[in-house]
Chains A and B, each alone.
Chain A
Amino acid sequence: MITLTIDGNSIQAAPGTTVMEAALAHGIDIPRLCYHPELSISGNCRLCMVEVEGWLNPTISCSLECQEGMVVRTQSAQLTAIRREILGLLLSDHPLNCLVCDKAGSCILQKYAYEVGLAGTPYPVEVARPLHQDDNPFFIRDHQFCIMCSRCVRVCDEVVGAHAIDIAGRGFHNHIATPFDGPMIDSSCVFCGSCVQVCPTAALLPASRKGLGREWELDRIKTICGYCGVGCEIEFAVKDGEILYARGTPEGPVNGEFLCTKGRYGWDFAESPDRLTQPLIRRDLAYALGLTDTPWALPETSVLEVEKPNIEDSFIPVDWDTALDVTATKLAETVQTYGPDAVMGLASARCTNEENYLFQKLMRLGIGTNNVDHCARL
């Protein structure tokens, strides 16, 4: 292990550890924009400058390997002046839209401007990238807020493996682009939103949240994704009982902060008007039970031929007691007439352990059969 000193603290670090990593691991916060712990080092923002005793000039800590006996300072008047200068330059190219910006409150540029007390920029303002692209329903690309940190480019290549975007152009007029600036859908983008996840500013925003709530108004609720078997943790941002957007967090035990397109954007099914909201009894059974006066028979054409089923055509709504009593009665009649093995149960790979446990208990103990299966085979 290497021993070095950061801000007066004696710190042990494994060989190969950077000063940024060592500092963060010991709760010493170094300002940073382009650095992300899951991505390669870019070193383009220069905000993480530190002073090393005996070195002539400050240097960036994200790419600086710890050395034995190194003495590092992360805060000084000189460093604050440098960081103010860098932030001032970034703001000369970034609209100060914080009053109406959806990212306000979680924007990292705003956070550091606040910390160094920068209300604006000393430089003439010229927005280099006025491009606003909302060519898909997943996310909005508003390039005027982009600070060219390249986190999005790196996550797309290094983690997702899609490499749908890269830096195009040179100098002041460079920007993040798909091949030939084509629409996102024509690129290799898989719409996982990992770029949105790591974007420090409002350059990349979930389309679902635009204008619907400020960061500090949102409740954050973590749960596990309901799609495939990977079991990613998702943090939902909820306002007044409605989901505004979803994101990952670094604490996700399986996925860290990364998600796929279904996990990050596929939650709106729950708010579909097609959701079942009350118990239903099919009209022929309802007639037999005296719940309706109109006789009815199930059409013989395949249900797959029905383009969009209309619930009222085939079912009548009932209360829970009626539905549960009819169900229990019919199952009991089948058991009494034909025996327990005349009943089968299909449990669900999309329900919880507790629900599936109770389901097989019902089939084995309540009905008395091992005819209980689910789509593990399908």
Chain B
Amino acid sequence: MTNSIREIRDADCIFITGSNTAESHPVLSYEVVRAAKRGAHVVILDPRRVPLVDHATLFLQAKPGTDIYIFLAMMHVIVREGWDDQAFIAERTEGYDAFVEVLRPYTPERAALMTGVPIEQIEAAARIYALGERADGASLYGDGRGHSTILYAMGITQRRNGTDLVMTLANLAMLCGQVGKPSTGVNPLRGQSNVQGACDVGCLVNVLPGYQNVTDAARRQAVAARWGVEDLPGAVGLTVVEAMDAAAEGKVRAAYIMGENPMLSDPNTTHVEAALRTLDFLVVQDIFLSDTAQLAHVVLPAASSLEKDGTITNTERRVQLIYPVIPPPGVARPDWEITGEIGARLDERLGRDRDPATWRFPSTAAIMEEIAAVTPIYGGILHPRLEGAGLQWPCPNADHPGTPILHTAAFSRGKGFFNLVEAQDPAELPDAEYPLILSTGRVLYHYHTGTMTRRSAPLNWREPGGYVEINPEDAAAAGLANGDEVVIESRRGAVQTWVKVSTDVPPGTVFIAFHWREAPANMLTQDHTLDPVAKIPEYKVCAVRLKKPHAAQEAAASAAD
């Protein structure tokens, strides 16, 4: 997030898109509720009627994968009506003239046709966001236009043009000067407790800790020097979906998986399982025998987050200490101890004469000292400083108080650049054979692949099993009623689950959460067209069809004959 969570309650307008905030980030949604109760406008753009729509003043229900037309049309209207912030644009940005040219053909009329959202709603959203209008009451900020904030999540990023969509939201914020001050900004809501931190400390194929490019020889060699070697590999590695392909092709032969369950979380499960089975060696380090761990040659028992110390970084870049609450079961150990042991033993096997202190640390605080030394944005982040409220990066040195709001005076590159983005449709659209769009996501009571929450008695009591949400029109057309069993088929596979007839999904769209191993949504999702930059799969749109279970069985039997 460019801004901090507690600023949301004071926003004048909150624009939420591609985020089921109340179910995926419930406590953050409390901030939105508070703002709404004080009179803020809450504008939601989503294909599904997510629960937070109860508190929205404007809901734009666009067909899946068409939101880009609305963003571009909003900016078209903002420029047309002169609602853009010319002072901000002149002082803080570049590339405006070329950008405005690109917007010209993206009229609200065209957007309405593509998305099914009325022109008036698109124009209202543009006005409310750009000017930071309130539904009621007075703004806390008396500095001209009201303060508008954008919240988004995987509905924006898990798309074949996810990078374009994120840049578009950044363009929207810059166009209206809604960035760099309190209760504004472009705010991605991250889905896991430490997905932000895992990225920050370099668990990405193209960057070292602190987002230093592996292709930048000077940066790379600086990290190498701290690690006691001359250089480190300089070629960008394989992302998770690419690595699965490489495993299936025999190019990747061994994998070390720590606390991940690609059998349920990665697209095209059949392909993932085949790839994992092909490996010569798979070691999985986890707290449960996950579906992925069942395929491992070696399984290493880890301590859970309730059983160890260290730090995690939340979606507003706040690095916070965690503490052991209970002891780990059996001989389970914290992941850092296990990884360190593997490192030291690997050096021995490879005949390297390296100090085992490279791997074996006395404490997590000592590891953090090394992180601070090689990670400029974490330069001042050390355990003793994190007691209490933690610190928000960038925090470059030991005296720095942390950074609650980014880009207050300048952007990372100096001036903000308006990237030119054209609309692009989803890679796999419905057709005669597969006439419906499948979208995947989460439900309130479960988390990711469900290994933890499905073992929680109260949570599992409330939401014991999977289902597919189907609009009444589609359910009637398929002859399905609430509680019926149904088979959902895509070009990758089939999943059987129960029907939940719901107007929360629009006609032509069905929704499944990906928590359920007995109805794994990613059997269906596509892995053939990734976002070209982020290599993220398009979990939010693929083409499917519905069948009654006996019809599906008969079809499978006749295909086998």
How long is the Cα–Cα vector from A263 to B327 in the complex, in angstroms? 19
Query: Smallest CB-CB separation from B447: which chain A residue?
Result: A227
B36-82 contacts to A, CB under 8 A, are 36-37, 52, 54-55
User: Once the chains bind, are B534 and A228 in contact (CB under 8 Å)?
Assistant: no
How long is the Cα–Cα vector from A241 to B307 in the complex, in angstroms? 11
Chain A nearest CB, measured from B278 CB (Å): 12
User: Once the chains bind, are B349 and A328 in contact (CB under 8 Å)?
Assistant: yes
Partner of A260, one of B26, B269, B304, B452: B26
How long is the Cα–Cα vector from A20 to B331 in the complex, in angstroms? 52
Chain A positions within 8 Å of B301 at CB level: 275-280
Chain A nearest CB, measured from B484 CB (Å): 22
Q: Which of A3-11, A68-76, A89-97, A331-339 contacts B (4 or more CB under 8 A)?
A: A331-339
Categorize the interface residue count of chain A: 35 or more
**Contacts A351-B198, A371-B252; is A377 near B315 (CB within 8 Å)?**
no
Chain A nearest CB, measured from B21 CB (Å): 10
Chain A nearest CB, measured from B368 CB (Å): 6
User: B219 contacts the other chain (Cβ, under 8 Å)?
Assistant: no
User: A314 contacts the other chain (Cβ, under 8 Å)?
Assistant: yes
User: Once the chains bind, are B237 and A369 in contact (CB under 8 Å)?
Assistant: yes
Categorize the interface residue count of chain B: 35 or more
Query: How many Cβ-Cβ contacts under 8 Å join chain A to chain B?
Result: 507
A207-223 contacts to B, CB under 8 A, are 207, 221-223
Chain A nearest CB, measured from B210 CB (Å): 11
**Contacts A352-B336, A376-B195; is A160 near B311 (CB within 8 Å)?**
no
Chain B nearest CB, measured from A267 CB (Å): 6
Q: What are 15 of the A-B contact pairs (CB < 8 Å)?
A: A160-B30, A226-B193, A230-B5, A260-B26, A260-B444, A262-B26, A262-B459, A266-B458, A270-B306, A277-B331, A331-B349, A346-B262, A352-B364, A362-B343, A377-B534
Chain B nearest CB, measured from A42 CB (Å): 15
**Contacts A229-B314, A370-B205, A378-B240; is A304 near B304 (CB within 8 Å)?**
no
**Contacts A159-B34, A230-B314, A253-B388; is A328 near B240 (CB within 8 Å)?**
no
Chain B positions within 8 Å of A281 at CB level: 297-299
User: A366 contacts the other chain (Cβ, under 8 Å)?
Assistant: yes
Chain B positions within 8 Å of A344 at CB level: 237-238, 243, 246-247, 252, 254-256
How long is the Cα–Cα vector from A225 to B37 in the complex, in angstroms? 27
User: Once the chains bind, are B315 and A231 in contact (CB under 8 Å)?
Assistant: yes
Partner of A254, one of B253, B314, B518: B314
User: Once the chains bind, are B307 and A329 in contact (CB under 8 Å)?
Assistant: no
User: A324 contacts the other chain (Cβ, under 8 Å)?
Assistant: yes
Partner of A352, one of B30, B194, B240: B194
User: A63 contacts the other chain (Cβ, under 8 Å)?
Assistant: no
User: Once the chains bind, are A261 and B277 in contact (CB under 8 Å)?
Assistant: no
B498-536 toward A: CB 8 Å interface, digit per residue (1/0)? 000000000000000000011010000000000000111
User: Once the chains bind, are A298 and B277 in contact (CB under 8 Å)?
Assistant: yes
User: Once the chains bind, are A342 and B252 in contact (CB under 8 Å)?
Assistant: yes
How long is the Cα–Cα vector from A302 to B263 in the complex, in angstroms? 10
Chain A positions within 8 Å of B85 at CB level: none
User: B227 contacts the other chain (Cβ, under 8 Å)?
Assistant: yes
Query: Smallest CB-CB separation from B246: which chain A residue?
Result: A344
B450-477 toward A: CB 8 Å interface, digit per residue (1/0)? 0111011111011000000000000000
User: Once the chains bind, are A371 and B205 in contact (CB under 8 Å)?
Assistant: yes
How long is the Cα–Cα vector from A229 to B154 in the complex, in angstroms? 13
Chain B positions within 8 Å of A272 at CB level: 288, 455
Q: Which of B105-113, B115-123, B184-192 contacts A (4 or more CB under 8 A)?
A: B184-192
User: Once the chains bind, are A362 and B339 in contact (CB under 8 Å)?
Assistant: yes
Chain B positions within 8 Å of A263 at CB level: 27
User: Once the chains bind, are B195 and A358 in contact (CB under 8 Å)?
Assistant: no
How long is the Cα–Cα vector from A335 to B346 in the complex, in angstroms? 10
**What does DSSP make chain B's interface, helix, strand, loop or mixed?**
mixed
A346-369 contacts to B, CB under 8 A, are 346-369
User: Once the chains bind, are B265 and A367 in contact (CB under 8 Å)?
Assistant: no
User: B149 contacts the other chain (Cβ, under 8 Å)?
Assistant: no
Chain A positions within 8 Å of B302 at CB level: 276
Q: Which of A28-36, A108-116, A184-192 contacts B (4 or more CB under 8 A)?
A: A184-192
How long is the Cα–Cα vector from A340 to B280 in the complex, in angstroms? 14
Partner of A228, one of B192, B240, B296, B368: B192
Query: Smallest CB-CB separation from A271: which chain B residue?
Result: B326
Chain A positions within 8 Å of B198 at CB level: 347-349, 351, 353, 356, 374, 376
Query: Smallest CB-CB separation from A288: which chain B residue?
Result: B297
**Contacts A269-B455, A276-B287, A303-B295; is A226 near B306 (CB within 8 Å)?**
yes
How long is the Cα–Cα vector from A345 to B255 in the complex, in angstroms? 6
Partner of B203, one of A302, A369, A372: A372
Chain B positions within 8 Å of A277 at CB level: 301, 329-332
Which 4 residue pairs across A and B have the least CB separation, nearest first? A277-B330, A231-B314, A348-B259, A352-B310
User: A285 contacts the other chain (Cβ, under 8 Å)?
Assistant: yes
User: Once the chains bind, are A254 and B345 in contact (CB under 8 Å)?
Assistant: no
Chain B nearest CB, measured from A121 CB (Å): 36
